[in-house]
Amino acid sequence: MSSSADESVLRAAAAGDPAAFEQLYHTYSERLRMAAWRMCRRREWIDDLTNETWRRGFEVRTSFDPARPFLLWLIGILRNVFREHLRQQPINLAPGGRSAAFDPIDPARVAAEVELLVALNACVAALSIEDREIVHYRFFQGETLRAVSERLRIPESTLRETRIPDICTRLRKSLKARGIEISEFFSAQEGDASQYLHGE
C-alpha cells in the first residue's frame, strides 16, 4: 500500500467506511499480534486480545484521527482490552513478581518496539534457513554455543569464529539500511516480543 493510498484509506476508515477498515486490518494485523504478545507474553491470549481489539476498533472507527498513527491508536485500545482481561483472570505475568496489571504500558513505546521487530524479522527472514536457526537458538532462545553446535551439528569453533560474526555483520548492514542500529534491538531484547516472532 503506497503512502498516498494509506492516507486515503485512513481517512476513509475514520469516515466510517467498513471496506477501508478491513484494508487496515490486513495491513496491521500482524503488528497488533506482536503488540499483544509484548503485553501479555501468553500465546493462548493473543487471539482473544486482538479479536476484541479489532471489534472495538471497528465500532469506534469514526473516533480515529487520521492525522495520528493508526497503530498507536489501535494499541491504545489493545491496552484497555488487556487490562480488562487481567481483571477477569489475574495472573502474575511480569518479571520480578510484579503484576502486569500495574505495569505501565506506553502505546508509543510498544508501537516503536513492534516496528523494530518488523524490521528485524524481515532482515532475519532474508538469511538462509540454517542461519535463521542459529539466530533463533542463540539469540532468541538464549542457548549456549555448545547447545547450538550440538543441535545444528556445526562445530562450536565455527559458530564462534565465523558463522555468528558473519550473521551479525549481515544483520547489522541490513538493519542499518533501514535506519536501525543492531544494538537498538539486541541490547533491549528481553526474550519477550522477540519470542513471538521466533518461538518460545
Domain range summary for the chain, segments of one domain joined by +: 1-104, 106-200
Give me the pLDDT at residue 39, please: 86
CATH number, domain 1-104 = 1.10.1740.10
Give me the pLDDT at residue 183, please: 63
- Residue 48: is its pLDDT beyond 50? yes
Give me the pLDDT at residue 90, please: 58
93 Cβ partners below 8 Å, 6+ apart?
40, 41, 42, 99, 100
Give me the pLDDT at residue 186, please: 52
Give me the pLDDT at residue 185, please: 56
- Residue 137: is its pLDDT beyond 50? yes
- Residue 136: is its pLDDT beyond 70? yes
106-200: CATH topology: Arc Repressor Mutant, subunit A (1.10.10)
Handedness of CA 104, 106, 110, 113 (dihedral sign): negative
- Residue 59: is its pLDDT beyond 90? yes
**Higher pLDDT among residues 14 and 186, named by residue:** 14
Residues 136-161: what's their mean pLDDT?
Answer: 90
Answer yes or no: are the C-beta atoms of 156 and 146 closer than 8 Å: yes
Residues 112-139: what's their mean pLDDT?
Answer: 89
Give me the pLDDT at residue 97, please: 38
pLDDT, mean over the chain: 82
**Higher pLDDT among residues 51 and 93, named by residue:** 51
- Residue 181: is its pLDDT beyond 60? yes
Give me the pLDDT at residue 195, please: 43
